[in-house]
Amino acid sequence: MKEITFEQLNKIEEEYFADKSATIARHAIAASDIAVAASSKDSVKEMDFNFDINIKTMAVSNQKASGRCWIFAACNVMRELIGKKIGAGTFKLSQSYIAFYDKLEKLNYALNALIETIDKDYDDRTVQFLVQSGIGDGGQWDMLVNVVKKYGICPKNAFVETFTSNNTRILNSLLNAEIRRFASESRVVLRKDGMDAVEALKDSYMKRFYRALISCYGIPPKNFDLKYTDDKNEYHVVRGFTPKSFFEKYIGKEIDEYVSCINAPTKSKPFMKSYTVKYLGNVADGKIVKHLNLPMERLKELILCQLKDNQIVWFGSDVASYGDRMRGVWNDQEFDFKSLLDLDIKMEKGESLDFRASAMNHAMCITGVGFDANGVPSKWKIENSWGDDRGYKGYFIMSASWFDQYTYQAVVNKKYLTKEELAAYEAEPVVLQPWDPMGSLAD
């Protein structure tokens, strides 16, 4: 291993101090944030909130200090469908209700996975992945489908937020500590008393998990009434719903019409094939998480088909790079780190996935698009779930180049797929390793 020498450092310093631009950069960064100093306004004029397709949607929500973006985005999709059916311009679903049962199912799924790998060494990579990852707030569209089809949905006023549902860090830490304790304890029990005793141990853990969730989230409703005011300002009450009957009446089989398409241009993931990720899921024996890999241009075509039908699109992207979160802008052309620090973080999209420079970490909804003079998308309007005090009343904008580089997934109605694409989606999926970046949104 080659060491750093003082001769090297002295030479670098000489070159640095001879470079006037480096001095300017040092002075600028001393008084401001690096991203602010690297900000370039050359293309800001192109990023206004006027769009050729601009779907009218309800007010933005706020996931607060939780990682429930995928649930919030899915509720935004479902509430628009419900709002049209009941004639209400404003309607709120309980994200906390879905999160409660997702958390419960993930805990069961995690313990099952640890039992399945109980004969492996503790330092086996899969075992280490399971115990290090534990469970989190994140998830995937197919995991959402599993929960709502099993447990239903309910209006927000039937199951309200609590402090913990909005601030999940401590609870997640405690639950994951318990998962790791189970991983250790179950192996001791197996050696001493056999697999039946391990299953009994798991049941005791699940009992405590369920009690803890009720204490932190509240008691999920068994029955409720639907109360709303329609677009004509007329008040309505529909009585006697269960969460399951409410889901069946207003969403039902419609949820099964949506499929996940991804753009993962890596050598290990050829296009026109479907993929799943091992140990990515929540409901045991539920629908597997499944993605159809497509070129970016085709993914955008499918998104546009759905937008043109006046329906918003759930999607997953990497929002960690090139963003101004207060202005609500993601635009890789607005930040010039290369000129400021001679650091170039840009990579080819496939390489950035392979080498973990980028991965999906946030789900939102696409609600609009702007075209250039040639009819090519130049910007995208995004419904976020970070409250209405940032962006344009909570709505964000993404440049075309940023969207192409950092958008990895979109959930679209399968009616837009060709016969070949649908066949590829429905084929037996390639099983990816648990740590594959296509599973990162569920972290």
How does pLDDT run across 222-251, given as a tens digit for each residue?
Answer: 999 999 999 999 999 999 999 999 999 999
Q: Which residues are catalytic?
A: 69, 362, 384
Give the residue ranges of DSSP H helices in 32-168.
Answer: 34-37, 69-86, 95-116, 125-133, 141-151, 163-166
Q: In this predicted structure, what is the pLDDT of residue 45? A: 62
pLDDT, one tens digit per residue, over 143-157 is 999 999 999 999 999
- pLDDT at position 152 is 98
Bridge partners (DSSP) of residue 283 are: none
- Count Cα neighbours of 217 within 13 Å in the Cβ-side half-sphere: 26
Encode pLDDT of 4-16 as tens digits.
999 999 999 999 9
Packing angle of the helix pair 141-151, 243-250 (nearest 10 deg)? 120
Res 46: pLDDT? 66
Output the pTM of the full model. 0.96
SS3 content of the chain, % helix, strand, coil (to 5): 45, 15, 35
* Percent of the chain clearing pLDDT 70 (strictly above): 99
Interhelix angle 141-151/69-86, nearest 10 degrees: 60
What is residue 114's three-state secondary structure? helix
42-83 pLDDT, tens per residue? 766 667 899 999 999 999 999 999 999 999 999 999 999 999
Q: What is the mean pLDDT of residues 103-117?
A: 98
pLDDT score recorded for residue 407:
98
Indicate if the pLDDT at residue 108 is higher than 90. Answer: yes
Distance CA 265, CA 151 (A): 36
pLDDT score at 239: 97
CA 394 to chain centre: 17
pLDDT value, residue 44? 61
Give pLDDT tens digits for 364-398: 999 999 999 999 999 999 999 999 999 999 999 99
Contact 336, 400 (CB under 8 A): no
Amino acid 346: pLDDT: 87
* Phi then psi dihedrals of residue 367, to 5 deg: -120, 0
Q: Residue 38 has what pLDDT?
A: 87
Amino acid residing at 214: I
- Averaged pLDDT for residues 254-258: 98
Note the pLDDT of residue 39: 86
pLDDT of residue 261: 98
Q: What are phi and psi of 81, to 5 degrees?
A: -65, -45
Reply yes or no on whether the pLDDT at 355 is more than 90. yes
pLDDT(277) > 90: yes
Q: How large is the average pLDDT for residues 99-110?
A: 98
- The answer on pLDDT for 176 being more than 80 is yes
The pLDDT of residue 31: 87
User: Which DSSP string do the residues of 149-183 spell out, in sequence order?
Assistant: HHH---BGGGS---HHHHB-HHHHHHHHHHHHHHH
pLDDT for residue 245: 98
User: What integer is the mean pLDDT of 23-34?
Assistant: 91
Mean pLDDT over each residue of the chain, to the nearest integer: 96
Neighbour-count burial of 5, counting CB atoms closer than 10 A to its CB (0-12 exposed, 13-18 middle, 19+ buried): exposed
Q: Residue 314's beta-bridge partner residues?
A: 365, 411
